[in-house]
Structure 1
Amino acid sequence: MLALLSSPFLWPFVAGLPFAVVLPLLGNLLRLRGEWLAALGVAYLSSAAALLGAGFGIAPAVAATTGATVAAVVKQRDGFSRNSAYGVMILAGWSLMMLVAANTALGHALAQSLVDGQIYFASPTEAAAALVITGVALLLLPYFTRRRMRAHFFPAYDAANGLPRWRWYLGFDWVAAVTTAVAITILGVMAAFALLFLPALTVFPLAKRWRTANVAAALLGVASYLVAFFVALSADQPFGPLFVGVLLFAFASSRFLRTAKGAISPGAN
């Protein structure tokens, strides 16, 4: 661990670690509203924007963030709700990404790097960007959490009091989309999606309190990141697939232990 401080992999490690904390927390809020497809929809649309931006010499993170902002705004339009909007984004983003990749010189290689991730090539600039965007997300999460909880348990409250709910809906969607967009340029599409999806899926049936769910999800994200990063380095394996595999193993283990506990507990039948 200490050797990492003087190794060329220090900045890649720093660039990915903040997302292992923040994305599971955002995933909990998305799961609360049944919007678990958000990560994949925004990821594909942001990836397509990154590819388009590359053709004009725009940095992938900047182009991906622009695409994520468009995705957040489009979702607020009438007629789009929850996973329906994200399903459209997935199809549109995938279609556009594949077409751009097939018709540009470096498109295919860049598209592959966005899907697989390029964490080992992360620079101090990307590490700084990761720390800034995740820091902003952490600062805003308590504000969005209070309003999401209120909307979940008292859905008529905002309308009855004439509160413009769309503002904080758009605000949360934008924060989640931009954080995901920056994450995919470092971790890759599937690794970012796994961080938003699997920790929440794992802890929701186990946690009895919201705070417990957040702590458990963040710990699971960080622990899985640490295991995947160091195993990938020592065994010379690609980080993204290994990281997703570790998260899947944690989810499967929790399901197995929960099923086994229910089978042997007195009153299970």
Structure 2
Amino acid sequence: MTRSADDLLLELAQVCFRYPDGSRGLNDCSIAIRRGSRNALIGANGSGKTTLFQQCNGLLRPQSGVVYYAGEAVDYRRSGLRQLRSKVGMVFQNPDRQLFSANVLEDVSFGPLNLGLDIATARQRVSAALQAVGMTAFADKPVHNLSFGQKKRVCIAGVLAMEPELLILDEPMAGLDHAMQEDLLAVLENLQARGITLLLATHDIDFAYAWADQIHLMVAGRCSASLPAANLATAGDTLSGAGLPLPGVIELQCRLTKLGVLPSDAGPRKISDLLALLGTHQGNGMPHFERMI
């Protein structure tokens, strides 16, 4: 079976999956990921995010429904899965689940060599991947001596060395301090600029709103809503129904609009953008913020 949309990279169509103990992972789940886009998957623990990810690269197989990649139904034979996993890379939440070699260079080299590439090509890919995540200087360092954030970057490098079209990250910001999060954000920006499609899971609605092009909401094993992140301000009922709040910047903007500090059409997606907007409007004759509170 095929799909005809040229810009559609990955699609799950009415996928269902139950685990051997009878618990449901996905329940008639449909989701579409477009080429070159940044996608945030949000939802409570147990909503099916990790199960969905494992369907995306063939670690799990639908019991009903279809997974499409680049318009073609996934082939679950060994050769088909090998091809799929060369295009869809996944970074787990805990990097220690993904790192197993003695040093960084060996770990990042494993994927390209396992693809059967020659040594020169593998080395070129590994060098480019380490440079992309800012870990070139750590190539010979033992993996167990790395910080948590550095381990995550090495995991990303190991996937990048496979030259994927889609990179999936399960809770990439978990366990990182602010500086490490900023470093990882810079890495993600670099990857998207190179044309890699990004799909990540997060519990942080503020981060999802600031970063993503598209937000996909998981509830009880189903993608209950997919919408442009810029439209999240009008999705309060959808979020509250899933037990999620509106992003803080939206709530603050609404209050400032009611006070006459900001115009109703302002749409900052980060606190830093909102502060910059406040300064602009105060300079243009809008009421001074401190006088309004």
Q: Please report the TM-score for the alignment, with normalisation by the length of structure 1.
A: 0.27
Bigger relative contact order, structure 1 or 2 (CA pairs below 8 A, ≥6 apart): 1
Highest CA radius of gyration, 1 or 2? 2
Greater share of strand: 2
Q: Please report the TM-score for the alignment, with normalisation by the length of structure 2.
A: 0.26
